[in-house]
């Protein structure tokens, strides 16, 4: 099953598409797709290099989440190309005041599987 990429003619269901998608990268650079935070600090980010890498991760997760639909960690990992553990950590980041204090809802699907939704 394919899922059209909102940024190019590509297929979002291809694992890691957002990592390869030039149109997505351009959108991230554009102001409308920019997160309202300039940089990370604190416990998660110790080095500038890590900060840039994790900031890019956060942008990818946020860009998939901002459709306000329900997403599993596996689906988010597939779309962003980031490991599920990293996606989970970035979802926690999005809840933090310094990263926008977003509301991330969580609901149980089955057999230990959860879905997440960005409601604000
Ligand atoms: Zn694309």
CATH code that applies to domain 17-118: 1.10.10.10
Interatomic CA distance for residues 53 and 55, integer angstroms: 5
> pLDDT digit string (tens) for 9-36?
998 878 888 778 888 777 766 644 455 4
- ∠ at Cα 28 (68, 1), nearest 5°? 55
Q: Which residues pair with 117 in a beta bridge?
A: 105
pLDDT at res. 98 = 73
> 8: CA distance to ligand 1 center in Å?
4
pLDDT at res. 47 = 44
What is the reported pTM?
Answer: 0.69
The domain ranges of the chain are 17-118
> 35: CA distance to ligand 1 center in Å?
19
> 114: CA distance to ligand 1 center in Å?
26
> 4: CA distance to ligand 1 center in Å?
8
> 107: CA distance to ligand 1 center in Å?
28
- Structural tokens at position 44: 């998660």
């Amino acid at each position: 099953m394919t899922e059209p990429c909102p940024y190019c003619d590509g297929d979002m269901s291809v694992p890691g598409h957002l990592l390869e998608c030039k149109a997505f990268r351009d959108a991230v650079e554009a102001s409308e797709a920019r997160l309202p935070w300039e940089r990370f600090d604190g416990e998660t980010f110790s080095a500038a290099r890590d900060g840039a890498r994790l900031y890019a991760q956060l942008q990818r997760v946020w860009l998939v989440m901002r459709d306000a639909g329900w997403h599993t960690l596996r689906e988010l990992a597939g779309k962003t190309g980031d490991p599920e553990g990293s996606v989970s950590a970035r979802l926690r980041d999005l809840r933090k005041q310094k990263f926008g204090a977003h509301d991330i809802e969580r609901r149980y699907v089955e057999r230990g599987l959860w879905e997440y939704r960005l409601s604000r």
